[in-house]
Amino acid sequence: MKVEYTKAVETEAAIIALAKTMNATPKEVCAVVNQTRYRAAYNKLNQAKMKVMRKLVKEHPELLVVK
């Protein structure tokens, strides 16, 4: 599963400003922002996949029978 999201870069003005207010390095802030963005994109993709699975099981409950 390929997760696509917009990566933050250490040189962005918003990252630098946030790093100054947090008393952290831009690299640390960038890592936290990228991790949050990745997780949000992953969850969105996973929820879409599970929605399809729930619909399939709802329409075809016989697929769940284990022999």
Are 41 and 4 contacting, i.e. CB atoms less than 8 angstroms apart?
yes
Residue 14: is its pLDDT beyond 90?
A: yes
Q: Return the pLDDT at 66.
A: 75
The whole-number average pLDDT for the span 17-29 is: 96
Report the alpha-carbon distance of residue 55 to residue 67 in Å, rounded.
Answer: 22
Please name which of 10, 6, 7 lies closest in space to residue 28, comparing C-alpha atoms. Answer: 10
Residue in this structure with the two tokens 């952290």, named with its chain if needed: 24
Q: Return the pLDDT at 7.
A: 95
Report the alpha-carbon distance of residue 15 to residue 28 in Å, rounded.
Answer: 10
- Give the pair of three-digit tokens for residue 43: 């969850």
pTM, rounded to two decimals: 0.81
Q: In 2-25, where does DSSP find H-type helix?
A: 13-22
Locate the domains of the chain by residue range: 13-64
